[in-house]
Chain A
Amino acid sequence: GAVVSQHPSWVICKSGTSVKIECRSLDFQATTMFWYRQFPKQSLMLMATSNEGSKATYEQGVEKDKFLINHASLTLSTLTVTSAHPEDSSFYICSAREGVAVRVGTQYFGPGTRLTVL
């Protein structure tokens, strides 16, 4: 149980276009989802926290108008990179926190999406 999927796993796009990445919790309801960015050979940096039905909370330095996050349901959150540029190329990973009390506190991570902007 507690599986999180991401789609697509890999995407290449042209500079100036927008890309949407989906994060789904497959077998549990995720009241909170998190979006991370990971540069090559570096750690994960939290970009934003999204709660179902409310606006996402962005970390300092993350452009909310560039990285649009929508948590429309308890099983789906999306990250849209708008007007992508080569510097947005990165590995984007989502995680979901289960709302069931017995396992509260554990984040389950998706497999990641590698974005390459040409």
Chain B
Amino acid sequence: AQSVTQLGSHVSVSEGALVLLRCNYSSSVPPYLFWYVQYPNQGLQLLLKYTSAATLVKGINGFEAEFKKSETSFHLTKPSAHMSDAAEYFCAVSANFGNEKLTFGTGTRLTIIP
């Protein structure tokens, strides 16, 4: 079974500051990990995914995440926050590509302070 825990349901950062959204996973098999972003009243957009290749994954909109097996973590970062980054962010895990059931974390709402 797989699960993810997102630490912090709300995160506020100043515009231009570092964004760090935390995600820890639990998986009985090597996991595939994803970060999605959701804007109000919209579906989810894939930011990036880890699929057992490079541990540092670069995604869209300047986001990146690093897979750390020893820490069972997959934290999302962005060096400089923009106002447009304000949204809900979900970390998700799946067991493998053959069975694409995604298990989502509870989400982190990112607020950008002007």
Contacts and interface: CB of A to CB of B under 8 A. Distances in A.
Interface of A: 4, 6, 32, 34, 42-46, 49, 93, 95, 97, 104-112, 114
Given A43-B104, A43-B106, A44-B90, A109 B97 contact: no
B31 interface: no
A104 B41 CA distance: 27
B45 interface: yes
Interface SS of chain A: strand
Contacts of A107: 46, 100, 102
A69 B36 CA distance: 25
B113 interface: no
Given A105-B51, A105-B100, A43 B105 contact: yes
A7 B41 CA distance: 14
A32 B107 CA distance: 25
A42 B42 CA distance: 14
16 contacts: A4-B43, A32-B100, A43-B104, A43-B106, A44-B44, A46-B103, A49-B101, A93-B43, A95-B44, A97-B100, A105-B49, A106-B46, A107-B46, A107-B102, A112-B42, A112-B43
